[in-house]
Amino acid sequence: MFKGGFPPFFVLVLEFVQASYRGGVMMLWKALIFLGIYAVLHFGYELSGWEFLKPICGVDESVFEHLKIGFWAYFFTNIIEYFFAKKKHGFWYPRILSTVLLPWFIVLIWYMLPVFFGHIESLAVDLSWAFVVTFLAAILSEIFERNLERNSIGTDFKTVIVVLFIISIIFYTAFSFEKPWIDVFTEH
C-alpha cells in the first residue's frame, strides 16, 4: 500500500522519474529549484522596486517578461548545480544552450493549451498551467543538456552556443528597459 510511508501515487511518480532517466531524482530537484528561483524573479522587482533588478526580474505580465525570467532563473539554477556537480568538465556548454532554449520551450508548451482548448478564462487553470509549463520546460532542458553532455562538442558549436547566449543576454537586458512595438513585449 504505502511504500516508505508515501501514498502510492507519489511512489509511482517517483519511480517513473527514477526509471525514466538515471539521476531522475536530481532532475526533479533541479526543476523544483528552478521553479523557486523563477518565483523569486517573477516577484522580485514588484516587491522591492529596485531598478537594478529590472534586467533579471519580471516587470509586467508580458510574454517577454516570462521568457526573461525563465532564462535567468535557469541560468542561476545551473550555477547552483555546478557547485554540486561531480563532473565539471564539459558542464557549461550544454547548460548554456539549454538556458538559451528554455524560454522557447516555455512558449511552445504554453500555447498548447489555447491550441486545444481555446481561450481559458479561469485564473486557477491559468496559474496551474503556468506551473506545469515552467516545470516541463525545465525537465525538457535537463534532458536536452544531459544528452548533449554525452557527445563531443566541437569548437564551432561552442562558438554558436556562446554567441546565442550573449545575444540572449543583450535581448533580455535591452528590452527590459525599453520595449519595442512587437506584441510579444506587450502586456495583455
Tens-digit pLDDT profile for residues 54-71: 999 999 988 889 999 999
Short-list 143, 67, 149, CA closest to 104: 67
pLDDT at residue number 1: 42
Q: What residues have CB less than 8 Å from 158, skipping those under 6 apart?
A: 93
N- to C-terminal Cα separation, the chain: 47
C-alpha dist (Å) from residue 94 to 22, 53, 147, 174? 17, 26, 9, 25
Q: How confident is the model at residue 175 (pLDDT cuts 50, 70, 90)?
A: confident
Residue whose C-alpha is closest to residue 112's, from 137, 143, 79, 141? 137
- pLDDT tens by residue, 119-172: 888 999 999 999 999 999 999 999 999 889 888 889 999 999 999 999 999 999
Q: Which residues contact 182 (CB under 8 A, 6 or more apart)?
A: none
Q: Cell triple for residue 73? A: 532563473
Question: pTM value?
Answer: 0.82
The alpha carbon dihedral of 80, 144, 98, 91 has a sign of positive
